[in-house]
Amino acid sequence: MSTESLERRAGARPVGFWFEGMRLGRAHWLAALALFMAFVIESWEQLALVYVTDDLGDAFAIDQGRVGWVLSAVALGMIPGSLVWGPVSDRIGRRAVCLWSLAAYGVTALASAFSPNFGTLMGLRVLSGLALAGIYTVTFPYFLELLPTRSRGKAAVYLSIGWPVGVLLAVGVTQGLGSLGWHVVAIASALAGLWVFAIRAWVPESPYWLAQRGRHEEAAAVLRRLGVDVPPGTRFEAERAERAGRPGELFKGPLAKVTVLMLVVNFTFNWGYWGLQTWLPTLLQDKGLSMSASLGFVALSAVFMVPGYVSASLLTSRYGRKKVFLPYVGLAVVAGIGFAYSSNLTELYVSNFALAFFSLGAWGVWNTWNGEFYPTALRGTGYSWATAAQLGATSLAPSVVGFLLARASGFTSTVAFITAFLVVALVFAVPLPETEGRDLE
């Protein structure tokens, strides 16, 4: 067949066609490492100050309720930030958003370490969230748009392991540097902004986005970098860019039902995780553990998250997103109830480790599944709404749980209240469509 004929045939094909026979190669692994570390940074930022709350409270003479607001401030800034950055990524590209977002985060996080008072700290933490929201929102949809179709589920779930790695780093660094003061931990967080240079070097722009913007030669070049022999002059079939970055499109036609369901799942699922995670050291002290033992408990829980992710990764590529996500959330609910009603240290450990295993395994699947609901022109926008729903829970949960603790609510009632949100997430996930093996649009 002549080159001209090949070009004509290729010109009618969408970008997804070229991902069907693609194999994982060096370019994928470098992009995976760069974006994996971005997820580590996101986890680190949201958790680092959790483990130095005593010093933070003493430094600004604030009670647990106001400390809760400091812990929530980054997430509070990320809510409007995600709603801005998501549509922007559909208009100017995934890569540009990652670079500008992470660089801006490094600057504002550094400034927050030198806050002279509570008000300044809150303001700078909110600004850090506004900046960090860009890379937080784009990481998963961006990675999905670089992966071979048959490897998409498995590889993307592994990206989620960046979360427990961030937890372990937060525990380790705060134990090592916490004695020097909370501001030293904040400075360590700001250094993560330097990772922008790795992303710039290792992660190409999404070929889906490039083709959708009519930049066919650049899209072909990226596909070649990813290991596919795309004929010269290839033009790709792609949706017109007029819909790009328009939130109203999420609530039209068949997408409306998906959008409402996924928003509820994101909010309740994140509440079920985050409401417990932010106050876990305090709750464990209520059960008689010391602060040091509580942090060790948190670190062990993070270790158990890793096999949860790995098992979910292996299963989702075989059975699909839905058939893995639903059972994992259901088992997380059982583990949460066991944790709430644990009567001794052994039950406390076993139930919480099971909760970490199944809830984070489910998160790995959900991060992938959530990124596959929308076409390229709306993928960043759709994921930004998902992120905003998650962050709404992240912002509210620490304060609400802190309020309950301040009112002397017991361990059992507080944990049971948090676990109830996982039940709601499970129910609303049932009608969502399966996306395993389906080409991205």
pLDDT of residue 9: 45
C-alpha neighbours within 13 Å on the C-beta side of residue 435: 22
- The tokens describing 309, both together, are 């992710």
Structural contact between residues 240 and 375, judged by C-beta atoms closer than 8 angstroms: no
Q: CA-to-CA distance for 35 and 32, rounded, in angstroms? A: 5
Residue type, 170: A
* CB 185 within 8 Å of CB 46: no
Q: What is the mean pLDDT of residues 351-368?
A: 87
Could you give the 3-state DSSP secondary structure of residue 14? strand
Q: Which amino acid appears at position 414 of this protein?
A: T
Angle at 305 between CA 312 and CA 186, to 5 degrees: 130
pLDDT per residue as tens digits for the range 44-66:
776 667 666 666 666 677 766 67
What's the pTM?
A: 0.82
pLDDT tens digit string along 367-388?
A: 889 989 998 889 999 999 998 9
CA distance 237 to 228: 17
How do the domains of the chain map onto residue ranges? 10-230+245-429
Q: Which residues pair with 14 in a beta bridge?
A: 237
Rounded to whole angstroms, how far apart are CA atoms 272 and 421?
Answer: 5
Q: What is the 3-state secondary structure (H, E, C) of 98-115?
A: HHHHHHHHHHHHHHHCCC
Within 13 Å, how many C-alpha atoms sit on residue 261's CB side? Answer: 17
3-state DSSP assignment of residue 246: coil
Q: What is the mean pLDDT of residues 317-328?
A: 91
Contacts of 367 (CB under 8 A, 6+ apart): 140, 156, 157, 159, 160
pLDDT confidence bin for 6, thresholds 50/70/90: very low
Confidence check: pLDDT of 14 > 50: yes
Q: Is the CATH number of domain 10-230+245-429 1.20.1250.20?
A: yes
Side chain identity at residue 117, one-letter code: N
> Which residue is associated with the tokens 């030198």?
114
3-state secondary structure of 309: helix
Q: In the numeric block, which tokens belong to residue 405? A: 């603790």
